[in-house]
Amino acid sequence: MLKNSTLLLFLSLGLLSCKKSETRDCDDAISLYSNSSFPIGVAIESYDMLDGTRNKEIIDRQFNSFTPENIFKPNSLHPEENTFNWPEADQMLDYALSQNKRFHGHTLLWHNQLPLWMENFQGNSAEWEAMLKTHIQTICHHFKGKVKAWDVLNEAFNEDGSLRNSIWKQHIGASYIEKAFVFAHEADPEAILFYNDFNLALNDKKRDAVVSLIRNLKQRNIPIHGIGLQMHISIYYPSNVVIASAMKEFYQLGLKVHLSELDISLNPRGLDIELTDKLLQKQAQKMYSVSLLYQQIPKAYQYGITFWGHSDVHSWIPSFFGREDYPLLFDANYKAKPMYCKFLESL
C-alpha cells in the first residue's frame, strides 16, 4: 500500500508535468551540488581532469562526488598477481580530494574487467580465499582514509534471482560474498561498504534475492552499509512507483541508498529514432520525478545520486549496445539539456 505522503507526491508530480510541458532553459554556470542537500556525483575517467577542457570545467563545477568509471576495477588496479598499479588511481584520487570531492571506490569485486591472471588462478578454495583477501585488503589499505566508501561487490545476481556463477562463487562458494565484506571491513573499519547492482527496481525477482541476502548478512552482523541502485533506466520504465518502493525497501533494511550509475535512455529498444524536443522533455520529467522521490527518503539514508558520466558524447550506452542514445545531463557539445534544467529545478 502506498502511504498518503507518497500518494500526494505522485499527485503533485502529475500536476507539475501537466502544467510544465516545456522545460525552461537554465544557467549551467550554476552548480548542481551547491544547490543540493545531498551529494551529486559523476563517474569520471582520467581524461576528465585535463586542464582547460570542458569536461574538467563541468565535473568541477557541477558535482561533489566522483566515482572512477574504470580505473579502480580489478584489471586496472591489480593487473598481475604481485603487481598493483597505483599511479593513475592515486592521481585521480588526489585530484578529487584537492577539489574537496568525495571519492566513491568502484569496484573491489566484479565478474567483469578482471585481470587474466585472476581468471586463470589455480588453487584450492583456501588459496582462492587467500587471493581474494589479499586483493581486497591491499587495495583498501592503500586508499584507507581517502576512499571512504567502496562498492565491495558489483552485480552478483542473475536476472532470475540466482547467484551469478562467477569465478568467486565457483572457487569459494556463495560465502565469498560475506567474506569480501568482512575483508574490506578488517582493512578499513571506517569505510562505508556497498553492494551495487542494476535492475533492482525493475526486476522484483532480482530485488527479492538481494534483499534476502542483505537481511541474512545483517542478521549475522556482516558489515554492509549501503545499496547501489545503478539506475540505468529509460524514459519508459521502471515506473516512479516501482522506483520509490525499491528505495524504501532498501532503506528500511537500514542501508544508505546510492542511485549509483544514473542515466536515462531515450531509446532502450534500439530503434531508429529522431531526437525530438518531446523525447528530451520526457527525459527531463523522469529526472525530475526520480530526484523528488529520492528526496522523500529519510536524510540519513541519502548517500547521493551519481550520474554515469556527464556528457552524451562519453556515455557507455551507444557503444555498448550499438544504438543511438542520449542518456546524460549534457549534450555532445557540452550544452546543458532539459534533463539538467529539470534536475536543478528539483533540488
**Of 61, 60, 8, 12, which Cα lies nearest the Cα of 288?**
12
Under 8 Å between Cβ of 112 and 174: no
Q: What is the largest CA-CA distance in the chain?
A: 63
Cell 581532469, residue located? 49
Q: Which residue in 69, 129, 249, 261 is the catalytic one?
A: 261
Q: How far is the CB of 251 from ligand G3I (least distance, A)?
A: 21
**Of 176, 258, 260, 256, which Cα lies nearest the Cα of 222?**
176
Q: How far is the CB of 220 from ligand G3I (least distance, A)?
A: 27
Q: How far is the CB of 230 from ligand G3I (least distance, A)?
A: 6
Nearer residue to ligand G3I within complex by CB, 36 or 75: 75
Nearer residue to ligand G3I within complex by CB, 62 or 196: 196
- Residue 330: DSSP 8-state: B
Nearer residue to ligand G3I within complex by CB, 44 or 217: 44
**Of 57, 190, 167, which Cα lies nearest the Cα of 112?**
167
Q: Which residue in 119, 155, 190, 274 is the catalytic one?
A: 155
> How far, CA to CA in Å, does 40 sit from each of 101, 157, 330?
10, 27, 15
Q: How far is the CB of 71 from ligand G3I (least distance, A)?
A: 8
Residue 112 binds to ligand G3I (criterion: CB under 6 A): yes
Reduced to 3 states (helix: H, G, I; strand: E, B; else coil), residue 197 is strand
Residue 67 binds to ligand G3I (criterion: CB under 6 A): no
Residue 113 binds to ligand G3I (criterion: CB under 6 A): yes
**From 23, 64, 199, 230, residue interacting with ligand G3I (rule: CB under 6 A):** 230
Asked about 274 being catalytic, the answer comes back as no
Name 280's Cβ contacts closer than 8 Å, sequence gap at least 6.
Answer: 23, 266, 326, 337, 338, 339
**From 6, 17, 70, 158, residue interacting with ligand G3I (rule: CB under 6 A):** 70
Residue 154 binds to ligand G3I (criterion: CB under 6 A): yes
Q: How far is the CB of 49 from ligand G3I (least distance, A)?
A: 15
CA 337 – CA 24 distance, rounded (Å): 10
Asked about 261 being catalytic, the answer comes back as yes
Under 8 Å between Cβ of 286 and 264: yes
Q: Where along the sequence are the contacts to ligand G3I (CB under 6 A)?
A: 69-70, 112-113, 154, 230, 261, 316, 320
Catalytic positions, written as ranges: 155, 261
